[in-house]
Amino acid sequence: MQALMMDRPLNLPSILEYAALYHPDTEVVTRTVEGPIHRYGYADALARAKRMANALVGLGVKPGDRVATLAWSTHRHFELYYAVPGVGAIVHTINPRLHPDQVAWVAGHAEDTVLFYDISFAGLVAELKDRMPTVKTFVAMTDLEHVPAEAPAGSLVYEELIRLNSPDFGWPDLDEKSASGLCYTSGTTGNPKGVLYGHRSTVLHAMATTMPDCFDLSARDVVLPCAQMYHANAWCTPYAAPLVGAKLVLPGRHLDGPSVCELAVAEQASFLLGVPTIWVGVLDHLDQTGGRLTSVRNVCIGGSAPTASLVRRVEESLGATVRQIWGMTETSPMGVINTPLPRHAGESADAAVARKLKAGRGLWGVELRIIDDQSGDELPRDGKSAGRLQVRGPWVASSYFKGDGAQAFTDDGWFDTGDIATIDAEGYLRLTDRAKDVIKSGGEWISTLDLEDAVSSHPAVAMAAAIGVPHPKWDERPLLLVALRPGFSADPEELKAHVAERVAKWWTPDEVRIVEALPIGPTGKVLKRELRETVVPAKS
């Protein structure tokens, strides 16, 4: 017997329609690429999204077409998040921090037909135009006054498309399982691979992120995502904020400490999210200026694991609660989030920080299992047994676009993340390494994340990266590369001794090397492959 309930599809335009009806004046605020602050309400955003939907249809965009963006987090990008999937097409957000060769490659692999670009990328688009043969239409995301001289010839102008088209548009009936978005992995090993999101998966993901044990969002919040809209849907905040009627603050291109602090203070942000490098910059700025972000309630940190030192600094300087999250492009990106259980109330400060260094607990919608690399058996949830992390769920990729990377998907329907991890009895996931980064010394694993956390507890350390170097006896031994905080100093032997007090004796790195900076990739992670290739001599 089937249920007698209405069968209404879960689609993305319904989110903005809801926000416009019930929160019409709640603001979307943008620091524009042109410079000034732009603000309007959800009702205005819906009207402009519908104008753009009419424009897309007029440009010949058809259901299933890929429409690319090369853009920062702005109100125009926000409108495309709804207009493109709203007409049945697929918004392909290209990461502008990819190498130009990879930008051209993903546009060709996706077979994009239209490319919307922010004016800061006009020169790049002009350079790559002839290498993107499937793109027939280029649109500069600005007004007539600000179209740069280097813009590709024949580019259309976003604000003119808005002006010339009607806000009257009826969203077509869309299959909720149809594709809505395309995002490519950062391509740290080989070519990037495309993750194809759907209407249903994205709506479910957005709903899950707003729950109290996740982002804990409501109409009372001011959401400032410091994760750009070109990667993994800005952690879904452009959908989650309007879903609950929260104010949304989009930072444009500037994510340095002073810019983030200025916007957070001016707009009274209550919820922030971003990668650890963002918060290092924010905290250094607050330390230098004596400033505070008094309105912030929660800070979510993801992309790479925060250190104990960073967690303490955020909570002490901002007076906010840190929630670490783990996820991937392939998980939309929410996988787990570190939210305390009732039994953790009253725990000591040290115990709380130790818990917060775990990636997080499972939430409904994402199943987790740890698999032994040798036997293929599932390992117990004892917090000690480490193996390959595999996931599945309604917002987890079932394959890559065009069938690439099929080896990452198991025969019984799980996605192998490439992470090495444990799960404890409370359900907390703890990543010990990426499979490609783990150091194997004398037949035993050494966790690079634990080494990085150990050295980062030193007050002089800003960032650290541990990598394995060849060793004639032990196969590999750890090398720890450390960047110091501005105005601080430390001796390598001092840092080595600091680590030795906090890890197993045989884990202690043979060398600690102080560097001016660490290479950061397009998603804010340290590029360990680059370190291994440039810092460490190749085996003879």
Catalytic one among 445, 476, 496, 530? Answer: 445
Question: End-to-end distance of the chain based on CA atoms, in angstroms?
Answer: 69
**Amino acid at the residue 2:** Q
Catalytic one among 378, 436, 440, 444? Answer: 440
The DSSP string of 59-107 is: TT--TT-EEEEE--B-HHHHHHHHHHHHTT-EEEE--TTS-HHHHHHHH
Q: Which of 85-94, 276-285, 335-344, 433-442 has the lowest mean pLDDT?
A: 433-442
Is-catalytic flag, 508? no
Tens digits of residue pLDDT in 365-419:
999 999 998 899 999 999 999 999 999 999 999 999 999 999 999 999 999 998 9
Is-catalytic flag, 501? no
21, burial (CB in 10 Å: exposed 0-12, middle 13-18, buried 19+): exposed
Instruction: Mention every residue, 6+ apart, whose C-beta is less than 8 A from residue 323.
Output: 298, 299, 300, 301, 337, 338, 339, 356, 360
Looking at residue 446, its pLDDT comes to 82
Q: Which residues make beta-bridge pairs with 520?
A: 526
Distances (CA, A) of 403 to 172, 178, 190, 191, 440: 29, 17, 15, 13, 32
Is-catalytic flag, 440? yes
Asked if 225 and 274 touch (Cβ cutoff 8 Å), the reply is yes
Q: How far apart are CA 209 and CA 9, in angstroms?
A: 20
- The CA angle 497-307-241, to the nearest 5 degrees, is 175
Catalytic one among 26, 330, 356, 507? Answer: 330
Domains of the chain by start residue, with CATH: 13-24+31-197 (3.40.50.12780), 254-435 (3.40.50.12780), 439-534 (3.30.300.30)
Most confident of 134-143, 370-379, 471-480: 134-143
Strands 511-515 and 475-484: parallel
Residue 450 has pLDDT above 90, yes or no: no
Cis bond upstream, residue 333 (ω within 30): yes
Looking at residue 189, its pLDDT comes to 54
Banded pLDDT at 539 (limits 50, 70, 90):
very low
Q: How far apart are CA 46 and CA 477, in angstroms?
A: 56
- Which residue, among 472, 446, 463, has the nearest Cα to 531 in the 3D structure? 463
If you ran DSSP here, which 8-state letter would residue 306 be given?
P
If you ran DSSP here, which 8-state letter would residue 24 be given?
T
Bigger pLDDT: 322 vs 535: 322
Catalytic one among 32, 142, 185, 331? Answer: 185
Is-catalytic flag, 330? yes
Looking at residue 536, its pLDDT comes to 56
Tens digits of residue pLDDT in 426-440:
999 998 877 677 786
**pLDDT (mean) for 127-131:** 96
Map 311-325 to HEC letters: HHHHHHHHCCEEEEE
pTM of the predicted model as reported, rounded to 2 decimal places: 0.86
Asked if 215 and 206 touch (Cβ cutoff 8 Å), the reply is no
Residue 170 has pLDDT above 60, yes or no: yes
